[in-house]
Amino acid sequence: MSCGSHATSSAFSVLVRRRWGALPSHLLRPGRWRSRGPCVLRKSDHAAHPLWKDPASLPGGTRQSPINIRWRDSVYDPRLQPLRVSYDAAACLHAWNTGYLFQVELDDSSDRSGISGGPLENHYRLRQFHFHWGAANEWGSEHTVDEHVYPAELHLVHWNAVKYRDYQEAATGERGLAVIGVFLKLGARHEALQELLEVLPDIKHKDARVPVRPFQPSCLLPACRDYWTYPGSLTTPPLSESVTWIIYKKPIEVAQDQLAAFRSLLFSALGEKEEAMVNNYRPLQPLMDREVRSSFQAPEDGPGP
């Protein structure tokens, strides 16, 4: 434990452990106030979720995720090539309510779906993609940009199929994983995302899983492919520090009812007391001795996100 935010969330999780199920939701608000722009409270009652009850889920690592990306502190690296993305729509297998988030799993038995180039030395296969979101539009993303919080964030999780035999081995290995992060902002309706959202009523409860029709994940990427990259970790236990993060600068737009569809899912299983699946993001972690590199040159004035 080397930082104050760890201590705070640890103390909070003890509180929640004692009060789980009895604490009114308006009291579950230990999130940080933002000092810039409109004050935004990130409602961090994620600690109440059983996923975070194991003490091992609060490690004192040196390269944890997510982080706040400070635009002006990121370093343009002209050696960073464009990321090459090639996904096979037919590789999508299932949509799954994991009890913490909503995830689509892919067939990763071959190299047909994956990424290379950019900051990566090898080809990485797409294993799954999932989303994190808030209870309201003012919070929900895991990463932030100049302390700006988006309502949701998409993660496409890839593993290094050159160095490792399978996802499990890669997940704890050096340069094992590469995760693309895409911010979702409120705006126009996203037609491709809507295809996925149609299955959500079928996976409302924890552990529900349904087959999905072929879906092209690259439809969820922004048109502008500028990105930041930094070395980090998984943002759910086991929080392995094996991830090369690639965060696209530009968000994609989604409509209000599409965010509402995420929030209609449940943390709870069939027959349990209903708990809305919201605020399934991890709090920000300290940057420590890390550099965030950008594939693009920051304009003088720094337009912000």
Contacting residues toward Zn ion, per CB under 5 A: 155
How far is the C-alpha of 198 from the C-alpha of 191, rounded, in Å? 11
Kindly write down the DSSP assignment for every residue of 23-53, as one continuous string.
S-GGG---PPBPSSSS--B---GGGGSGGG-
Q: Which is nearer to Zn ion, 48 or 239 (CB)?
A: 239
Q: In the complex with Zn ion, which residue's Cβ is closer, 208 or 239?
A: 239
Q: What is the DSSP letter of 5?
A: H
Query: 155 vs 206, which CB is nearer to Zn ion?
Result: 155
* Closest CB 231 distance from Zn ion, rounded Å: 16
Q: Which two tokens stand for residue 167?
A: 């996802």
Omega of the bond leading into 201 within 30 degrees of 0 (cis): no
Q: How many residues does the chain have?
A: 305
- The CB-of-44 to Zn ion minimum distance in angstroms stands at 16
Closest distance between Zn ion and the C-beta of residue 181, in Å?
A: 8
Task: Output 43 or 155, the one with its CB closest to Zn ion.
Answer: 155
Closest residue by beta carbon to Zn ion: 155
Round to whole Å and give the CA distance between 192 and 179.
Answer: 20
For 205, the token pair is 């409860």
User: What's the min distance (Å) between Cβ of 28 and Zn ion?
Assistant: 21
Nearer CB in complex with Zn ion: 155/185: 155
What is the smallest separation between the CB atom of 128 and Zn ion, expressed in angstroms? 10
